[in-house]
Structure formats: structure tokens, C-alpha cells
Amino acid sequence: MRQQQENLHTQHIDWPTLLIYTIFVLAGWINIYAAVYEPEHSSIFDITQNYGKQMIWIGVSAFIALMIMLIDDKFFYAFSYMSYGIMIVLNIAVMFLSKEVKGAHAWFEIGSFRLQPAEFAKFATALTLARFMSHYDFSLKDKKHWYKVAGIILLPMGIILAQNDTGSALVYCSFVFVLYREGLPGWILFICLALGIISVLALVMNPATLIYILIGVGAIAVFLLRASKQGMIVVACVVLFCVGLVKGIDYLFYKLQPHQQQRVNVLLGKEVDLKGAGYNVHQSKIAIGSGGLLGKGFLEGTQTKFNFVPEQSTDFIFCTVGEEYGFLGSSVLIILFVVLFIRLIAIAERQRNRFNKIYGYCVASILFFHFTINIGMTIGVLPVIGIPLPFFSYGGSSLISFTILLFILLRLDASRVFQLRGSIY
Amino acid sequence: MIDSSTKKITLYIIFISVGFIFLLRLFWLQVVDDTYVRFAQNNVLNEEVVYPARGLVYDRDGKLLVYNDAIYDLMVVPERLKKLDTAGFCEVLGITRDDFDKRFERIKKSKGYSKYRAVIFEKQLTIPVYAAFQEKLYDFTGFYVQTRTDRKYVYKSAAHVMGYIGEVTDKIIEQSKGYYRMGDYFGVNGIERSYENELRGTRGIKYVLVDVHNRAQGRYKNGLFDTASVAGLNVTTTLDHDLQEYGEKLIANKRGSIVAIEPSTGEILAIVSFPTYDPNLFIGRERGNNYMKLLRDPMKPLFNRPIAAPYPPGSIFKIIMSLVGQQEGVLNPNTTYGCARGASFGSVHVGCHPHPSPLPLRPGIAVSCNAYFCSVYRSVIDNRRYPTTEAAFDQWRKHVLSFGLGQRLGIDLPGEGPGNLPTSAYYSKIYGQGHWKASTTISLGIGQGELGITPLQMANVTAILANRGYYITPHIVKAIAGKKLNNPIFTEKHFTTVDTSYYGVVIDAMQDVVERGTATIARLKNIVVCGKTGTAQNPHGKDHSVFFAFAPRENPKIAIAVVIENAGFGATYAAPIASLMIEQYLTDTITRPWMEERLVNTDLIHQPATNETTTGKPAHTTH
């Protein structure tokens, strides 16, 4: 029976996802090699270099992935709250036990290796959220449940914010997609997205122009919807709220210190300060833009190879892809990611219990958020928020944590046939 | 479940549309918009000018005279400047903060300024500064050191011939239609200038990939777009370096010139100007300061006397008069004129020194009788064959012109002067048409008056005598890149208007001058020297000592003219100098060291010549 079950794990493992994962990890390794390539360390296996170290992380990840596949699937459900607790403790501890690196207290130093607990908090939070929300009487309509869900998400988020690692903290926003899938009304998601967009626009555009546009949009909405009196009032209220929001953001912006204002402007691409704050994005765009249709070829990327792009093996790894493989290579990467997301949603949807399904959505949302922010940043459409590109970016903590995140899902998915619908635990 | 599947689809749509937006953005960045390609090249491509080495300069025997030495200029690309540790930078360079700011202001104001183009920040770093800089260069993004070459002159001699190179001026840049760029060097004077196009070579461009710290990382596309610099062509001059140096040794501390020409080719063997300067003053960081010092020097060391300074030729002009008189048919070797310590021509009395009288032409030249040649001049100008004095004068002038006087000969050196040969119009203007005669301008007959001849022209006249009737335009460059210069200008024979047959008696007389006339001091054992002394009157001071000669008499190898300013009789300084030069050139040995010693030790600049040579000199005397 046990033998049979184990065979079934491998039989039921989702091969397309595993294939994409393998492609990403190997492509990432090669791109890290290209990004930090120096002729005197020309071996990709040289472990004094980032690419050599990444090779070790890939090995460790493979081992962990194998372990996960061998563990009983019930373990993750059982382990979820405990992992959450451990991660909360570790993330608090790191603030007191670590040295400051780039302004953040986020790294444990063990010998020459560094460990970032915030990375591992993601899967723990995902497991916990899945377990809590899969409870048979769970409902988002229940205020108590609402608060608990919010608490589960906001606690690690707050702690990580306190570590001064804004990027990793923002990742927790991705759970809004999970909540939406699990009963959060569509209009809340819509308002969240709309508020985000209007806030960005308020800073980018002339406020007066934006207000006219909002009023115009409101008028068109009233006309198109042939709104009743009530509807018109609703539209008017929405427009009024938006105008207030724009005015408020504008006011707050001018309350900022000049250097902060400049920083915001640069992040939004409004002001081009190529030597200072805007340097990263500008260089990143140059590297990607100069790749052209087909790219410059492996190790031929001058911008990345000669260190014009900062953080090029970690947060800006996509520059190497863009420069050396051109639009063709970048498109393949983008499309593969989108395929992965579609696959992950499909996996989540085919689960027979809510724990697996919610966890699946957590994985898809977290990866999607990372992908969006990271690529958006390198191509200059989103502010510079330093988070890694899943599976590609150099870094043991992030690669291992994404591996754990993904393989727990694959493990759960592999044994879905043995599970009953709904919550069996 | 409707709600559920809508939500699933909504999420699909959100995820897919983000991917789609990214694809569109990437398509714009990578395929449509090409500004980033240019930005990228700007980032990594450093256009480095590869300066060619200037051509080398040799003397006629292949002795190296000028070569190149590496120098290091500190360049800056203003656009690349990043946060600069200005204090540290100034310290390495040894300048003050003020200097630093001023330089940048100057750079920004300069012509053709572009923040993307490299300009010189500091010229010619010293080796220790260069070394210190190389170490810290990565700290000073935007700066780099460019190697180029500067001239090095092996000898201190022939400064005026060599000339010098200097930085191009805005005007030169404009005239060159963009060939020269700010900070380039070009030949300012001497052969550096006249052979600039041959010597400068062709600039190359090297595209170097640089990293974010501006450190060179290699060639761009393996040098596919690089252009190699082509070294300038080597120039072989006609100078005989040993002779040149010997001439400079003899003339030291005496204002004047020596010009020696190989008559058969017009090649200049030596061209000496004193006061002179060390050509090495015009290289290196002090170039500008040294130039100003030399310019302000009251001795005018920059003045190129042999080709620019006109002197009244004095008695040597009698040689030309002898030839013109014969050609015009008013003189033959047997024509005699009397002289009683001079003679009167109209209201003008021309003095002379005691000598037997009357004399025919040959001894007339040998004793340099003033009355004789004034008479010859009178018979030329008052010749009844010509309707007017003006016409006869024009005829005379035409003959004189054919000896290369009163015009630039066209030597391949900048700054040549034409000398002065007055026209009939000039005298008509002063005295009125038809109101002047030979007697009015009688001093022209003995090389005085308005005549002005450069030492180069004098040497050229000597070459004409040596060649019995023609000259080849004197020139200083013999071969370029090892190939003999094939310029018709420097091979064409210019015949004088005097028939070759008239030269014999004159040359006999010139031999007499050296063997038993006024210049016995120039006599050489075994070599027949033909010469003529001159003592050119100088309204500003003591007479100039002039001598010209060629040797040997048959198949002459050297024609030489020497002018020593304010030195008195031609025989005193000019003749012995010429004689020693001839001996040096023809035999490579000096048989009269006492004479050499006397000349070398004579200082006429700080200690003017003593009175003994000037006392008892009658008015209007030339020898």
C-alpha cells in the first residue's frame, strides 16, 4: 500500500510545473553567470562567485524538493501553525541579532552564508492562511474571521516592515487575490486596484487635469449606464471621493521634504535624475532596451557585464535576459511565467479540499506579485521595490523559499486523489 | 459556482493582462525605441583618439635630428563626471580648488565644447604624477590618461629650420575644416610647418569598452570599427648636421647668418642664424612660457635672419654689376676706369681706398674699386640704347631680378623675406619722371642704397656663380619617407639673363680676391676658393661684415654666404668663417685651429668690435 502510494506521488506530480521550474532555475543560474561574469573566474562552478554559490543553492533546493515530495502530505497541514509561529519568532529575532545590511535588519549571518527569514515567512503564512480559511465553518462574512485573517497576514507584514524590508512586506498584499477567490466581493478588489492606480496617477499627472478627467469619466459612466437618480448619486459620490483622494495625495506630496519628493518623482518616472536616484531604473532600461529583437548573445551584454546595472544578479537579473536574449528571450520568459500562473490556478482549482486549493492560490498570488513588481521595476513601469524574480534571482534564501512554496503545492497536488472534497482533517 | 468561475476567470484575466502589458512594454523598449541602444553605446564605448607619431627628421647623411617622446595628457569627458573627490583629485594633480574650477570654466567656454567629447584637462603629466594618477584613476570617473608623443630634438642646432609644434588655435581649427581638434598639435614654424601634412600622419580611432568605473574592458567588436593611426612620414633634410653645428659654433655670440648651398642641386647644407635658441624649449609643459620668454628677448632669437633679414649687400653686388655690364654691352674685361681715392658722379662723390689706377675689370673686382662699379652702373643706366633712364633702369632691374634678388626664392621654410630691389617707379615717384639719372642712384652700383638682400639670396647668387649662370631654388628637404623629393620646383634650373660666357672673367677675379685681393684670409691649401668680400654700410651702427664664396672653382660643391652684423670689414669675420666652413665641408679637417679659436671666442654682442677696424674709414667705402 505504501509502495503504491509513493508511486502515485510521482505519477501524479504535475510535470509541466516541474519542467517550468527546472527551466527557470537553470536559466537563472546561467544568467547570474552572465551578469557577474569575469574572465578570471570563468568557470560556472567557481563557488567563490555568485553563480557557483547559486549552483549550491540549486542543489540544496533540489534536495529539499525531494524531501518535500517524500513527506506525508498531512504533515503540511499539521505543521502549518507551528511553522507560522517559528517564522514570526525568527523574524522578530533577526531584528535584534543582525547587522544592518542596506538599511535593513533582515539577515542572519551564519559563517559566510546569510539567511533571510522573511523569505521563509511567505510559505508559513500561506500554509497558515490555507489552514485557517479551510476550516469548515470559515466565512469571510464573519467579522471575527475577517479580523483573524487580517491578523494572520498583517502580523508578518508588520514585522518585516519593521525590519525595513518594504519590498518583502508588500508581498503580503498578494493575499488579496486569495481572499478575492475565497469570497471577498469583487468590488473590494476593484476598489483596491482603482485606488492604487488613481494614487499613482495623482502623483504623475497634473492634479487639475486628473480631476477634470475623473469628472468626465463620471459623466460618461452616468450616460452609458443610463443611471437612475440613485445611480447618479453613487457615481457622484465616487467621483467626489476620487477628487478628494487626488487632492489629498497632492497635499501630502507637497508636505514631503524636497528630497523625498524627488525620490517619489523618480520612482514614478516623472523626473529623470539619471545620476542619482533614477540611475538604477535608467541603467536597467538601457540594458534591456539595447538588447533589441534578438539580443546581444550569451556573455555579450555590455551593460550588465560591465556593472552599469546595479544589483544585477539579484533584483535586476531580468536585465541580463533582456540584454543578452533580446525581445525574443524576454517574451519567452514572460510567457513561461504566465503559463506557470495559469497552470498554478488550474492546479488550485482541481484540488479536492479547500486547504490545498487556498494554498495553491497563495502560491500563484505570491509568485505573480513577485513577477509583476520585479519585471515592472526593471522595465520602468513600477517603482523600484527590491524583491527578487522567483527562481531567477541570485540568493539562497529566496530560491529555497520559492522551492519550498512550490513543492509543497506539488506534493499536495500529487496526492489529491486520496483526499476527499472539503476539509477532511 | 457561477460566482466562483467568474472569479477564477477574473484572476486569469488579471494575470494574463499583466504579462501582456509587459510584452507590449518590452516590445517598445527593445524593438521600437532605439534610444536605449545609443545610451548603451554611450555607456560603454569610449572613443579614444590614437595619435600617430610624427615623422622623424634626418640630416642629409641619415643622422637623426628629431624624434618623438611619449607624453601623457589627462583627459576629461565632462558628461562622465560622477561624484568626484575634488580635494583628492587636486592633491594628486597638485593644483588648487580654484585652479580646478577655473579650468572647468575654460573648458566649457572653449570652441566646439561638448560634454560628451574628451578634452585635455592637464597637459603633459610628469611621470610621478602620471604614476600616481594611474593608481587612482578608478576613483576619478570621467578622467583618463591619453598617451601621445611630443617632439624631442637631438641637437640644439638648426632651431629655426626645425621649427616647433604647438597647440592648434581656434583659427587653425576653423581653417582646417574640422581636421584639427582642440588640444591637437601642429607645426607652427620651420619644417614642422612647411611639411606639416607629411609629418603629421593620420589619426586613428580606437573604440574601447569601459565598465561603470570607466575602466577599459577591451576592444569593441574586436576592433572592427577601429581605425589605425598611420605614423607621419619621415623627412630627410638637405642639412649637413656637422656643418650646421660647426657654423653655429663659429657664429656664436655674433649676430648674423650663414647659408651654405650645394650649387648643383640647390640643397641647403647649412643655414645658421644667431642669436638662436634650443629647440627643446618648445616641448613639454613649459612650451608656452618659453615661447613668451623668447618672444620678449631683446636679442630676438626667434628671428630667422638667413631667410628674413635684408642687408645691403655692399661690395659683393659688384659681381652682379660686372655681369650685367657685360651683358648690356657697356663693359668688357678690358674696360678701364680711373680712381683717385674715389670719383664724382654728378654731385655725388664716391670714396675709395688707395689702389693702383686705372684698372681693367678683373683687378677692379679684386681690389673692389668703388669708382669702377659706379662707372659701370652709370654706363648701364645712362645707356643711349634706351630711350629713358627709367627704361634702362628697368632693364638693369630685370637682370638683377634674374639673380633671385628682390623676390622670395620660394624656399620650403615659412617666413622667407623678399629683400628689396627698388623699381624705376619708386625713383620716379621720389624725383619725378625723367628727373633722375644714374648719378641719382649711383650707390646701387656698389650694393648700397635701397638694396636689401637676404643671406639666402646672397648664397643663391654664389650658387649662380658656381653654376656659371643658373640656380635651383634653394630647399631644405631632400627626401620624404626615403623617397627623393621629386618636386619640379626644386629641380628646375633658373637661368639668369646674363650669358654664361660673361662669367669667366668674374670668376677669375673672385679667385684673385681670395688669392691676392681683399680676402686672402679665406685662402685654402689645395682648394681654389672664389669669393668676394663686402662691407655693408649700416645706418644704425657699425658696418656688417659680408662674404660670399664657392669652392672648389671647378665643379663647385659648396656656395656660401656669411653676414656678421656690426662687425666691420668683410674680411675680418665673414671671410674666415666662410673659409672654415668650406674647409670643414670639403675636407672634414680644420688646418687653422688658431683661426677657429679666434672666431669662436669673439663675442660681438656683449663686447662690440674694437675701434681699430673702423678708424680711418673714408665715407662711402665698401670693400
Give me the residue from B6, B10, B40 closest to A303, CB to CB.
B40
Say which residue, A102 or B416, is predicted with more confidence: B416
Per residue in B47-60, pLDDT tens?
777 888 899 999 99
Overall residue count recorded for chain A in this entry: 425
**Residue in chain B nearest A343 by alpha carbon:** B12
Per residue in A44-71, pLDDT tens?
777 778 888 899 999 999 999 999 999 8
> Which residues in chain A touch residue B44, judged by CB atoms under 8 angstroms apart?
302-303, 306, 308
> Which residues in chain A touch residue B30, judged by CB atoms under 8 angstroms apart?
288-289, 291-293, 322, 326-327, 330
Per residue in B326-362, pLDDT tens?
999 999 999 999 888 888 888 888 888 888 888 999 9
Q: ipTM of the predicted structure?
A: 0.87
- Contact of A138 with chain B, judged by CB distance below 8 Å, is answered with no
Q: Decide if domain B241-294+302-613 falls under CATH 3.40.50.920.
A: no
- Contact of A31 with chain B, judged by CB distance below 8 Å, is answered with no
Q: Considering only CA atoms, which of A88, A79, A172 is closest in space to residue A412?
A: A79
Query: Where are chain B's structural domains?
Result: 48-236, 241-294+302-613
Q: What is the pLDDT of residue B224?
A: 65
- Contact of B19 with chain A, judged by CB distance below 8 Å, is answered with yes
Q: Whole-prediction pTM value?
A: 0.60
Which residues, in sequence order, are bridge partners of residue A421?
none
**How confident is the model over B393-405, as a mean pLDDT?**
94
Q: Considering only CA atoms, which of B459, B470, B463, B457 is closest in space to residue B409?
A: B457
**How confident is the model over A183-205, as a mean pLDDT?**
76
pLDDT over 80 (residue A422):
no
| Cβ–Cβ below 8 Å for A286 and B7 | no
- d(CA B115, CA B155) in angstroms, rounded, equals 41
Confidence of residue B234 (pLDDT cuts 50, 70, 90): very high
**Pick among 3.30.1370.60, 3.60.150.10, 3.90.1310.10, 3.30.365.10: CATH of B48-236:** 3.90.1310.10
Mean pLDDT of chain A: 83
| Cβ–Cβ below 8 Å for B213 and A177 | no
| Cβ–Cβ below 8 Å for A302 and B25 | no
Give me the residue from A285, A322, A341 closest to B15, CB to CB.
A341
Confidence of residue A425 (pLDDT cuts 50, 70, 90): very low
pLDDT over 70 (residue B225):
no
- d(CA A173, CA A171) in angstroms, rounded, equals 5
Q: Considering only CA atoms, which of B537, B398, B413, B391 is closest in space to residue B473?
A: B413
Per residue in A222-256, pLDDT tens?
887 776 777 788 888 888 888 888 888 777 777 76
Residue B470, SS3 per DSSP: strand
- d(CA B390, CA B437) in angstroms, rounded, equals 9
Per residue in B591-617, pLDDT tens?
999 999 998 988 888 766 554 343 333
> By the 8 A CB rule, do A163 and A118 touch?
yes
- Contact of B8 with chain A, judged by CB distance below 8 Å, is answered with yes
Greatest pairwise CA separation for chain A in angstroms: 75
Per residue in B400-410, pLDDT tens?
999 999 999 99
- Contact of B7 with chain A, judged by CB distance below 8 Å, is answered with yes
> Which residues in chain B touch residue A181, judged by CB atoms under 8 angstroms apart?
7-8, 11
Q: What type of residue sits at position B619? A: A
| Cβ–Cβ below 8 Å for A289 and B44 | no
**Which residues neighbour B123 within 8 Å (Cβ) at sequence distance 6 or greater?**
B73, B74, B183, B285
Query: Where are chain A's structural domains?
Result: 2-184+256-407, 186-255
Residues B104, B108, B112: CA angle, nearest 5 degrees: 140
The DSSP output letter for B85 is -
Q: Considering only CA atoms, which of A136, A334, A345, A216 is closest in space to residue B18?
A: A334
